[in-house]
Amino acid sequence: METPFGPPDPPFVPAPHLLPGAAVGAVPLKGGSVNEVWLVTLADGRSVVVKTTEGLPAALYRREAEGLDALRASGTVLTPRVLELGPDGMVLEAFDPAPADAEFWERAGHAVAALHGTVGDRFGWAADGWLGRLPQRNPWTTDGHAFFAEHRLLRYLEEPLVRRVLADGERADLERICRRLPDLLPAAPPVLTHGDLWRGNVVARPDGAPVFIDPAVCWMWAEADLSMMFRTGGVPARFFDAYQESRPLDAGWQDRTRLLHLRELLSSTAHVGDGYKRVGELRATLRAYR
């Protein structure tokens, strides 16, 4: 309807060239730190999720789509299907936010345990990918300690914000930790991992089944995946109890999450400096393993 001031503005629609039909509205979704994410309502009544951000590498969305396909193909976890894919974004099935009830997180725990039952013969992945805006390097490696040290910890020392935050002595602390990893972390096989497993990357199907989004997949230690879920918080204890019912963890796993969580602390620092207020935790962890 026209008004005295002229016709109303049309609704904002992100990445209309990617949409599988005409759109009638869009609302922003919270949670991501890299992409602009929108819940878009199509004219036919369907809802889809659109992820798009200018200036990201063209292969980023393709790698994410490949990771979603790989997780789903394992037959252990659910992931959203990619409806449209382009160099500047992707369109995915839409799901509901994860509920807080114990039954949902019990199902999620069993699902992740099943995922981690998919065992490989090397660490890494067939291609490099991204964790957030930064490259995730995945060269095939037979030694898990060497892979974690070089490609999940030390690689962040070259990032400008990490160089700015960490003093020379703290960089040396990290290097010493990496040399001691075989003594600090037990050897474990490479398993299929989500790679960015925290509460915000779990959503729900209408029937209550957990659905896993935004992966950074690779073959890695199971405990490396669990460390982020455990340390970032907000996950009911039933998730971890259910995981252990399906796939018992070695004694001391909760203590080891502190060391394994260094990767996430370094990644956060590399992206935003102390914007997430995690540099204090990073420094405390480095001191704890001197």
Which pair of tokens denotes residue 226?
């669990």
Of the candidates 30, 13, 31, 9, which has an alpha carbon nearest to the alpha carbon of residue 22? 13
Show the CA angle centred on residue 76, arms to residues 112 and 28, nearest 5°: 70
Instruction: Give the whole-angstrom CA distance, residue 175 versus residue 261.
Output: 16
Q: Name the pairing type of β-strands 36-42 and 210-212.
A: unpaired
Show the CA angle centred on residue 51, arms to residues 46 and 55, nearest 5°: 155
Q: Confirm whether 241 is a catalytic residue.
A: no
Instruction: Give the whole-angstrom CA distance, residue 109 versus residue 8.
Output: 48
Q: Which residues sit opposite 192 in a β-bridge?
A: 219
Instruction: Give the whole-angstrom CA distance, residue 72 versus residue 70.
Output: 5
Instruction: Give the whole-angstrom CA distance, residue 271 versus residue 264.
Output: 11
Show the CA angle centred on residue 270, arms to residues 267 and 274, nearest 5°: 100
Helices (H) and strands (E) in the chain, counts: 10, 12
Which pair of tokens denotes residue 152?
């999940």
Which pair of tokens denotes residue 13?
């629609």
Instruction: Give the whole-angstrom CA distance, residue 228 versus residue 226.
Output: 6
Which one of the listed residues 196, 207, 225, 255 is annotated catalytic?
196
Of the candidates 80, 71, 79, 148, which has an alpha carbon nearest to the alpha carbon of residue 114? 71
Active site residues: 196
